[in-house]
Structure 1
Amino acid sequence: MFATIKRMIAPGSGKGDEGQVLSNWAKAGGHAYKTVRDKDGGGHVVQVEDQDWRVEWGTSQRSYIHGKELRFRSETKLSPDVQILLVSRVLAHTLETEVFSSFTNAMQTQVDNTLPDEMRWLPMHPRVTLTEPAVLAKRFVVLSNAETVARRWLDDDLLSVLEEAATTWWTDTLTLVMTVNRGRLTIRMPGQPLEESQLDAVGRLCSQATRSLRAAALSSSSG
């Protein structure tokens, strides 16, 4: 199954009817599905009611994601001031290079505020040290302006799901960015092509990340 996921999320691996894939996936899971229209051509939304998160597919909102974009979003109940970024080291290096290029080409004295939040955070926020599991420490980067909250988020349950992702479908070549900002978790990745097993895998990651964030929010408010 995961070999299929890797093939489906690899750049240039083909095209499909993403709306139909999302509709079938939503129907199989008992989720609400709808098509939305806007000036950019519209897209599709799946609401996962029982776990209170949603999937969005449509025009890319980020320059580093070409074509269509797939987003998983949830409200975390964390303070809106908490900012967390989780990304592969390979992608972090790519984005850092783009930030540096933007900075030097414009001869600026500060980071460009027009850049996406996650790109501006790369030179701004300290790294949260990852030691275990080894595959995560080797391949991923976590940055945050609230290290204590970030460490509470990275609980054993989330680390287990992240390790599964890192050893099955979340490859170094995959453009996937996970952020927490203004109380919302967002997972972004290329939206073409799609496969239901891919949605299942990223959905498991979103579900656990959301549960762990809400637990971290509860712990922060009580402690």
Structure 2
Amino acid sequence: MFDQVKHWMKQRANAAAWKGIAEWASSRSARFVQTQEADGFLIDQPQHALGHLRVEWGPSQRGYISGQEMRVRWELKLNPELQLMVIERELRDRLERAVFDAFTDTLQTRIETDTPEEMRWLVMFAQWDQWKSKLARARFSACAAAKEVAAAWLDGALTDALAHASQDLVPAGTPFVLQVQRGNLYLRMPVAEPTLDQIKAFVGLAEVAAKEAKRVDQLISEGVSWAQSGVSGWQSSLNAVDAS
């Protein structure tokens, strides 16, 4: 009985603390729901023009993020072979060391299937580092099936948005991952206590990335040779690894 009362009081406190976020979600025709454990929330917007948008805040789902994390998933219905990633540089270095240490310690010759995509991609994808923005280059790294695909995604508005985010939204040394895979866009980073301004900024950054991913996807659908060959080549190699 005491636990039930405690849980109810926590939900009430959360409702008051997150009232502004819930109202913002409602203004976008989105649903705001607390988790059953009252340790996070979900903003669900199925009718967004770009596709179904989900913004979640709750316990981390990745070992490289401690505590609570913010997650964005945007269902864009892209070519499922389109796979791109932007990762914070310090996190990239840490994950690369972890992969190397794991392979060295166990004498593994291939990436295990239970390793997070972020770690596998750092080993198996071509890294792209030709940022037009010094701010973005200092803070982020990118990889993709083909460097030309990453260049197309980051050639314009997304690089500018990331450079801006590096000044306040993503503090130096903060784990940050932005991915395109399985036809969707994903964003995740640690957030101890979310604010409405943070959520707006996260969604704004994800929206820029989503629009740029759709632009690249359109290039692929139009048969641009560099994109199609690079993505298809990667898919073949991925299938070979998974089958081994």
Q: 2: CA distance between counterparts of 1:196 and 1:21? A: 11
- Determine the structure 2 residue equivalent to 1:121: 121
In structure 2, how many angstroms separate the alpha carbons of the residues matched to 1:18 and 1:192?
A: 14
In structure 1, what is the equivalent of residue 131 of structure 2?
131
Q: Residue 221 of structure 1 aligns with which residue?
A: 221
Q: 1:24 aligns with which of 20, 24, 38?
A: 20
Deviations 1:165-185 (A, max 9, x none): 123332222111111111111
User: Per-residue displacement from partner, 1:141-191 (whole Å, max 9, x unpaired)?
Assistant: 100114333222223222221121123332222111111111111111124
In structure 2, list runs of 5 or more residues that go unmatched: 1-12, 224-244
Cα distance 1:118–1:198, how it changes in 2: closer, same or farther (>3 A)?
same
Task: Kindly indicate whether residue 209 of structure 2 is the aligned counterpart of residue 209 of structure 1.
Answer: yes
Change (3 A) 1:32 1:134: same
Answer yes or no: is 1:50 the counterpart of 2:42. Answer: no
Alpha-carbon separation, structure 2, partners of 1:108 and 1:205: 37
Higher helix share: 2
Could you say which structure has the greater relative contact order, defined with CA pairs below 8 angstroms and 6 or more residues apart?
A: 1
Equivalent position of 1:82 in the other structure: 82
Q: Which runs of 5+ in 1 are unaligned?
A: 1-16
Aligned-residue offset at 1:81: 1.7
Stretch of structure 1 that moved more, 115-124 or 20-29: 20-29
Q: Which amino acid aligns with 1:164?
A: H
What is the match of residue 8 of structure 2? none
Distance 1:131 1:209, change over 3 A: closer
Structure whose alpha-carbon radius of gyration is higher: 2
Distance 1:131 1:149, change over 3 A: closer
Contact 1:21–1:195 (CA under 8 A) maintained in structure 2: no
* Aligned mates of 2:76, 2:39 — CA distance in 1: 26
Paired residue type of 2:195: E
Match of 2:34 in 1: 35
Of 22-31 and 200-209, the range deviating more from structure 2? 22-31
User: Distance between the aligned counterparts of 1:43 and 1:95, measured in 2?
Assistant: 27
What secondary structure does 1:204 align onto? Answer: helix
Secondary structure of 1:127 counterpart: strand
Are residues 181 and 69 of structure 1, via their aligned partners in 2, closer, same or farther at CA, if it must alter by over 3 Å?
same
Q: Residue 12 of structure 1 aligns with which residue?
A: none
* Matched letter for residue 143 of structure 1: C
Distance change (3 Å), C-alpha of 1:147 and 1:193: same
CA RMSD of aligned residues (A): 2.3
Deviations 1:82-139 (A, max 9, x none): 2211012111001111212222222322223221011111111111232301222232
Question: TM-score, normalized by length of structure 2?
Answer: 0.75
The answer to whether the 8 A contact 1:77-1:217 is kept is no
Give yes or no for contact 1:82–1:146 (8 Å, CA) kept in 2. Answer: no
**SS of aligned partner of 1:93:** helix
3-state SS of paired residue (2:170): coil
How far off is 1:47 after superposition?
2.1
Partners in 2 of 1:209 and 1:18 — Cα distance? 30
- For 1:167, what is the secondary structure of its paired residue? coil
| 2:189 match: secondary structure | strand
Alignment of 1:165-204 (within 5 A): 165-204=165-204
Contact 2:87 2:176 in 1 (8 A): yes
Normalised by the size of structure 1, how large is the TM-score? 0.81
